Structure 1
Amino acid sequence: MRVFKPIFFIVLLFFPATCLSEPIHAANAPLLFSWPVKCIPGMNCAGRQFRIGYPDLTGTGRSFSCGQPGYTGHQGTDIIVSSVEQAVPVLAAADGIVRWTSDGLFDSCPDPKNPECAADLTTHLPLETGQKATLGFNAGNFIVIDHVHSDSRYLTLYAHLRTGSQLVRTGERISRGTRIGEVGSSGNSTIPHLHFGIYRSTGGYFQPVDPWSGPCNSSSSGLWDTEPPYQPLIEKILYQVE
């Protein structure tokens, strides 16, 4: 049995929200996010090896439900599928503007020593000021979308995408549910999955936020627009792949 080891570092996306030009504001309503993959865990996302990894923003080893997050300090939601060839669509979680994209890296690293696969290769985002922000981990092929609703502003990150699958470009306005790419295994990744991260503008900086509603989530009361389509048994993650 092979153990799926942690592949992300704790990340605080601290950079000024003012470094980004403002998109058009959406209607005055709470900003909630839709499930970012076009499949249902435990049904048609994958087979026996499907798992979900949950955020642990406080680094306490507890997910939103006070259970195991997958590993301590995880900053997003991992949605794991059977294979890159499954071509599982990745969907925009809300209306917004595409701010950053990166493509062309391996779908599955042939050698962990390859520079594209290295755990210490940190993904950076160029800012309009000429500076760079860091995601704190090797995100591989990725898309970042900027969302503004009322007085709230968020970024969503879709990481480890399949090479060549991206269907959007920087600056493009897209709608919730738009197909933007496919689940892959690029960057520092050992199994096909989507790393979905949400970052909220707080005090002029973007910081990670947990979208799952539960007693151990201190960052939000839940940010999903509907109950995510997953099987309760899948909450028990060991990150083991047979």
Structure 2
Amino acid sequence: MSWTAGPLADNCEDGCCSGSAATGAGLSAERRAVLTRRIRWFVAATISYNVIEAIVAITAGTAASSTALIGFGLDSAIEVASAAAVAWQFSGSDPEARERITLKIIGVSFFALAAYVTVESVRALFGMSEAEHSIVGVVLAALSLLIMPVLSYVQRCAGRELGSNSAVADSKQTLLCTYLSGVLLVGLLLNSLFGWYWADPIVALVIAAVAVKEGREAWRGEHCC
């Protein structure tokens, strides 16, 4: 992991860090090792869940012709890439040399996601395809809305105590999934309960907009706290 003592200390409004521990200052070698292992476990858990989430979302979205659900699944796949990039970046002898390449790859992935979702959303809005009801999608979105905030919070707390910008940045990617889960759930429910098929592509466009924002930040390297 990379540890810095600057920006982390100024962003603890959610109450998951305090005092000098917020920057990694004054930590014993033993405590630092514990936090490092903890972060690795959190990253592994995030990757595992997102792999399952991506497979289920894309499969269910394809079956229901739901652009929003497919976009959500593709976003989960990108989150897997983001978490894996953190592990890959710090597995080498020179993490800084790998960081720029990793961020560029993630940025391009987000742009590709946004382009695909935008095109499919426009097609859906013009009546070329209508999303069907998806119980699987509703359940998946609800589960993600419960699970992802917990994973994000515990990793962010550990990252702040350790003073690791990379761990905190990756936790923000996980937090993004929480917001998208909420938006997706609303869209799927509107379609299921009221037959508002247009809610699905509208939600998908929101996902596309968020993907563009995340892609720009990754491309520019604006991934710290």
Same fold (TM over 0.5): no
**Where is the helix percentage greater, Structure 1 or Structure 2?**
2
**Where is the strand percentage greater, Structure 1 or Structure 2?**
1
TM-score (norm 1): 0.26
